[in-house]
């Protein structure tokens, strides 16, 4: 398990922070998985039931978000659920200031327990919906979402939290696209896409957007 995690965080496309070793990142991810396993038996955090499945699906995909996230700045993860992508991104970008937003109380309690277990700093979990926190509007350098709501609504909510020039990273179905006039209304420009193919018919991708700096 540790070797697989080291392999994932050593991916050159992710550009691991210079002050974070693959071994230390893997050890923190193992602490997360230990907490996940304990809580998943009680509140069904993920459909996956073993650590390797979580690594190969959720942690792998979460780490891909880091391709568009710099080592410093502020990030809000909307609908964090079981902690993806927010916690893996925080582990490999330790200087980021991170807020996890989760509307389900039990999952929010898990996220708070995981943060304590891993002993992460400059990260917090807030229980509620994004609309419950008007102080978040226009504040963040990075916004991450994965399958939270209808993609258009997700993009609208996320764009509202970005500071000028900020980046939004959204995971959605592989065939989804947005009309340019809709993106223009949110002052967003598409930058890149990363595609995933999983067993069966489930396919998804991560879409990167940049907000205008004016």
> Domain tally for the chain?
1
Low-confidence ranges of the chain (pLDDT < 50): 199-201
What is the pTM assigned to this prediction?
Answer: 0.94
The CATH number that applies at residue 111 is 3.40.50.150
Residue 192 and residue 214: Cα distance in Å, rounded? 21
pLDDT at 199: 43
Report d(CA 32, CA 105) in Å as an integer.
19
pLDDT digit string (tens) for 131-146? 999 999 999 999 999 8
What's the domain range around 206? 2-211
């Amino acid at each position: 398990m540790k070797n697989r995690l080291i392999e994932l965080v050593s991916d050159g496309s992710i550009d691991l922070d210079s002050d974070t070793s693959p071994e230390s990142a893997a050890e923190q991810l193992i602490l997360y998985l230990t907490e996940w396993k304990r809580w998943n038996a009680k509140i069904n955090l993920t459909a996956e039931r073993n650590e390797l499945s979580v690594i190969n699906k959720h942690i792998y995909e979460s780490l891909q978000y880091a391709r568009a996230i710099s080592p410093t700045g502020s990030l809000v993860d909307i609908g964090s659920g079981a902690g993806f992508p927010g916690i893996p991104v925080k582990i490999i970008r330790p200087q980021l200031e991170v807020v996890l937003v989760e509307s389900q109380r039990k999952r929010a309690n898990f996220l708070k327990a995981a943060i304590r277990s891993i002993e992460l700093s400059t990260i917090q979990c807030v229980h509620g919906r994004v609309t419950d926190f008007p102080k978040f509007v226009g504040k963040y350098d990075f916004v991450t979402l994965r399958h939270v709501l209808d993609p258009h609504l997700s993009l609208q909510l996320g764009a509202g939290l970005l500071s000028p020039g900020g980046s939004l990273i959204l995971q959605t179905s592989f065939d989804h696209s947005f009309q340019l006039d809709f993106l223009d209304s949110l002052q967003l420009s598409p930058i890149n896409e990363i595609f995933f193919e999983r067993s069966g018919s489930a396919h998804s991708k991560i879409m990167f957007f940049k907000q205008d700096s004016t």
